[in-house]
Amino acid sequence: MASSHLFSSFSLTLLILIGLASAQLSPNFYASSCPRALSIIRSAVSIAVARERRMGASLLRLHFHDCFVNGCDASILLDDNSTFTGEKTAAPNANSVRGFDVVDTIKSQLESACPGVVSCADILAVAARDSVVALGGSSWTVQLGRRDSTTASLNAANNNLPSPFSDLSALLSAFSNKGFTAKELVALSGSHTIGQARCTIFRSRIYNETNINSAYATSLKANCPSSGGDNNLAGLDASTSTVFDNAYFTNLLNNRGLLHSDQQLFSGGSTDAQVRAYSSNSATFLSDFGNAMIKMGNLSPLTGTSGQIRNNCRKVN
């Protein structure tokens, strides 16, 4: 079983690799080669989120689901081709990840401004930050200079992404394997303060689990019957699912976590104290979240001459 203070040798090695990769990234990477890059991304994200606030959560989730599968290399954006089956149809992603059209729009605008310069992986990293800001969260400095992969892995996506049905021990293990502490697990899980989930993902919890607020469960059942309605949606944050705040943690204290994996963070285990801390101090949560996102963005990026800068984020050049 993983713990917050004990890492496997694999995790320690991964931390070293993250540090080396981070040294090759820079927040000023495009200062000369594409000085308008960040403003182009920010503007496109602002427009997309203004049109549909849920899109902010979707863009943030794209970055997370990219980085946890073979590193932050935009592999999640690749469509299937004759040489590999990509990640879009993996169980954690199918009928779930979205926002690809927004990324396409951003990439098209960047290619017009500075062809062949800005990677799709960097677009995902910046769009995630700008989405949080657009929904009222705090900003952080995004390291840049990632390059794009030329392949993707259905198998890796199926095996590396944490499940919404995971118990705390499985969550701790999944995040520890990527070099994250229990505190960082809780901080990153706070991304569920925005966004929605499909009925099929939380049905078992509201009908079968006892550690859920009964009134909350009853309200959810109206939109998520015991059979049917699989694609009906509910906010991950029962209070303010379109505002990036710390209400998610307050909900956990009151057994109002939507997903099984959410409520596991406050279930009598080792992460209870951290949930309480974030529920009472929004500033600390937002600061820790930003730092954890910077660390996540440094997961095994391709740099230098590795990979490529895709002209189209959906396919290899």
Residues 102 and 114: their CA atoms lie apart, in Å, by 18
State how far the alpha carbon of 136 is from the alpha carbons of 15, 193, 222, 247, 286, in Å: 31, 11, 30, 13, 10
Q: How confident is the model at residue 99 (pLDDT cuts 50, 70, 90)?
A: very high
For residue 106, give the nearest of 86, 88, 121 by alpha carbon: 121
Is 69 annotated as contributing to ligand binding? yes
Is 271 annotated as contributing to ligand binding? no
| Domain span holding position 198 | 168-291
pTM confidence score = 0.92
Residues 311 and 166: their CA atoms lie apart, in Å, by 37
Is 184 annotated as contributing to ligand binding? no
Note the pLDDT of residue 141: 98
Task: Looking at the structure, tell me whether residues 40 and 154 fall in a common domain.
Answer: yes
Note the pLDDT of residue 239: 86
State how far the alpha carbon of 61 is from the alpha carbons of 82, 214, 220, in Å: 27, 29, 23
| 65 annotated active-site | yes
Judge whether 314 lies within some domain. no
Q: pLDDT of 75-95, one tens digit each?
A: 999 999 999 999 999 999 998
Are 13 and 179 contacting, i.e. CB atoms less than 8 angstroms apart? no
CATH number assigned to the domain comprising residue 250: 1.10.420.10
Task: Looking at the structure, tell me whether residues 180 and 143 fall in a common domain.
Answer: no
Is 87 annotated as contributing to ligand binding? yes
Task: Looking at the structure, tell me whether residues 120 and 206 fall in a common domain.
Answer: no
Note the pLDDT of residue 283: 98
Does the pLDDT at position 7 exceed 90?
no
Judge whether 17 lies within some domain. no
Task: Looking at the structure, tell me whether residues 134 and 217 fall in a common domain.
Answer: no
Q: pLDDT of 176-185, one tens digit each?
A: 999 999 999 9
Task: Looking at the structure, tell me whether residues 158 and 175 fall in a common domain.
Answer: no
Task: Looking at the structure, tell me whether residues 65 and 79 fall in a common domain.
Answer: yes
Task: Looking at the structure, tell me whether residues 56 and 114 fall in a common domain.
Answer: yes
Q: pLDDT of 23-69, one tens digit each?
A: 589 999 999 999 999 999 999 999 999 999 999 999 999 999 999 99
Mean pLDDT within 191-217: 97
| Per annotation, catalytic residue among 5, 63, 65, 260 | 65
Q: Tell me how many domains the chain contains.
A: 2
